[in-house]
């Protein structure tokens, strides 16, 4: 499958541009025409994080004329293991601004547009409409579905990538020519089922492997060369060092891009659609959530509590709350944790940020521990409010 170029060529390249892009210009498939198309191209990168870092660096170096960067977050020390667009001195700065700095240093001949804001249903259509193509480097399902829906509604291609531990995936979703993200994943996964990189970790260099696939595909679409990753899902296994691709068909029943779409505008609330925690967990946590400071006070007062850390052993090793017993969430879901809970103590659960402990809390309450509670914000909140000398992750 080949597709026509996404953008028209710019009128000309300057002498500086010819010098800079000479290694592109002497590739027959790219040539002057291809480089002029890149110059005329407007690409938006959603997220200046793990995938956005390599993507932005290479899109800039390649000479994409207008490069948009949207991110609301600030650079954290734990980002530097993989988000190579940011440096030590950028810690605490807005990611969008830090990324823009790096990009301008790599290529002063391109225009950089900084969107230092949260992408929302209010602004996504307007922001996207200024670009030819979207590169998706988001790390959560709510944003991902919103990016997909906006791209489909605006008829724009978007290059998607996803990373977790040693596994990467990438594809090009473009409803005009193939499937959209909803054709592949009609429903978001149940809350709590798919751990994020913040929960499960990611090998830093995996970002480069997947981000470079995304840039590769963006350049092909913009210039109309090669066989784009439309209708194919690229799956990369860094441990086996294997790439394979599987066909993804457009789903004629897709609620968004199928024959009889029922989703014809953006959803009102993507967070609710994807559910940060399940309904059961939200119900269990309502009225049964304490703060880290309240937990500290309970401990200091010698209250009769049994504190359970529901994270994984390697997380417990990084940082833990004094006195906590480790029983991973999975043991609550399969029921085996229950016999380890004392009947004569108040059960207090915690995890990293409060989502997993809410899931476990639902199980514990169902088993009859009516006064059980969990710590909102988890160990991260403990580090922040009770003992900042402990490491965060």
Nearer to Zn ion, 256 or 383 (CB): 256
Q: What minimum distance in Å lies between the beta carbon of 136 and Zn ion?
A: 15
CB of 328 to Zn ion, least distance (A): 36
Q: What is the CA radius of gyration of the chain?
A: 24
Q: Is 3 in the site for Zn ion (CB under 5 A)?
A: no
Contact flag: residue 182 with Zn ion (CB under 5 A) = yes
The position carrying tokens 């514990």 is: 364
Nearer to Zn ion, 184 or 202 (CB): 184
Please tell me whether residue 215 binds Zn ion under the rule CB under 5 A: no
If one asks whether residue 219 binds Zn ion (CB under 5 A), the answer comes out as no
Which residue, chain included where needed, has tokens 């691709």? Answer: 245
Closest separation between CB of residue 251 and Zn ion, Å? 6
The answer to whether 254 contacts Zn ion (rule: CB under 5 A) is yes
Return d(Cα 354, Cα 91) in angstroms, integer: 25
* φ and ψ at residue 306, rounded to 5 degrees: -120, 110
Applying CB under 5 A, among 180, 218, 341, 372 the residue interacting with Zn ion is 180
What whole-number distance in Å separates Cα of residue 392 and Cα of residue 95? 19
Site membership for Zn ion, residue 172 (CB under 5 A): no
Helices (H), 41-82: 52-62
Q: Considering beta carbons, is residue 219 or 254 the nearer one to Zn ion?
A: 254
Q: Which of residues 82-121 bind Zn ion (CB under 5 A)?
A: none
Helix (H) or strand (E) holding 114: strand 111-115
Q: Is 183 in the site for Zn ion (CB under 5 A)?
A: yes
Catalytic residue among 197, 207, 257, 274: 197
By CB under 5 A, residue 257 contacts Zn ion: yes
**Is residue 355 a contact point for Zn ion (CB under 5 A)?**
no
Decide whether 257 or 361 has the Cβ nearer to Zn ion: 257
Dist. CA 296–CA 386, nearest whole Å:
7
Give me the helices (H) in the chain, please. Answer: 15-20, 22-25, 31-40, 52-62, 95-106, 124-128, 141-154, 181-184, 197-200, 206-223, 270-274, 279-285, 292-300, 313-318, 329-333, 355-366, 378-385
197 is catalytic: yes
Is 351 part of the annotated catalytic residue set? yes
Q: Which is nearer to Zn ion, 175 or 375 (CB)?
A: 175
Record the tokens describing residue 293, joined without a space: 């400071």
Q: Tell which positions 286-325 bind Zn ion, by CB under 5 A.
A: none
Helix pair 378-385, 292-300: axis angle to 10 deg: 70
What residues line the site for Zn ion (CB under 5 A)? 180, 182-183, 254, 256-257
Catalytic residue annotation: 197, 351
């Amino acid at each position: 499958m080949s597709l026509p170029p996404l953008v028209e060529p710019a009128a000309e390249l300057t002498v500086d541009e010819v010098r800079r892009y000479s290694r592109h210009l002497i590739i027959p498939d790219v040539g002057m025409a291809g480089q002029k198309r890149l110059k005329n191209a407007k690409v938006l990168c959603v997220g200046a994080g793990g995938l956005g870092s390599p993507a932005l660096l290479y899109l800039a170096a390649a000479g994409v004329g207008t490069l948009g960067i949207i991110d609301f977050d600030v650079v954290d020390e734990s980002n530097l293991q993989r988000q190579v667009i940011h440096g030590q001195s950028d810690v605490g700065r807005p990611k969008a601004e830090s990324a823009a700095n790096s990009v301008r240093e790599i290529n002063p001949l391109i225009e950089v547009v900084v969107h230092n804001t949260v992408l929302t249903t209010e602004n996504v259509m307007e922001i996207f409409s200024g670009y030819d193509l979207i590169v998706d480097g988001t790390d959560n399902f709510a944003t991902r579905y919103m990016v997909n829906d906006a791209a489909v509604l605006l008829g724009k291609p978007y290059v998607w990538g996803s990373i977790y531990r040693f596994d990467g995936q990438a594809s090009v979703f473009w409803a005009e020519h193939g499937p959209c993200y909803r054709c592949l994943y009609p429903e978001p996964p149940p809350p709590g089922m798919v751990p994020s990189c913040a929960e499960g970790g990611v090998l830093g260099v995996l970002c480069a492997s997947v981000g470079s696939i995304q840039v590769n595909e963006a350049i092909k679409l913009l210039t109309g060369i090669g066989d784009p990753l439309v209708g194919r899902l690229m799956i990369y296994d860094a441990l086996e060092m294997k790439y394979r691709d599987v066909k993804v068909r457009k789903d004629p029943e897709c609620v968004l891009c199928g024959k009889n779409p029922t989703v014809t505008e953006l959803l009102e609330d993507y967070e609710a659609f994807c559910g940060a925690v399940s309904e059961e967990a939200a119900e269990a946590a309502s009225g049964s959530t304490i703060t880290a400071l309240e937990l500290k006070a309970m401990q200091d007062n010698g209250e009769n509590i049994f504190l359970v850390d529901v994270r994984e052993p390697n997380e417990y090793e990084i940082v833990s709350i004094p006195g906590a017993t480790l029983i991973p969430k999975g043991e609550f879901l399969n029921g085996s944790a229950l016999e380890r809970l004392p009947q004569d103590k108040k059960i207090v659960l915690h995890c990293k940020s409060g989502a997993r402990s809410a899931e476990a809390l639902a199980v514990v309450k169902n088993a009859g521990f009516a006064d059980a509670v969990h710590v909102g914000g988890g160990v991260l909140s403990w580090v922040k409010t009770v003992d900042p000398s402990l490491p965060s992750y």
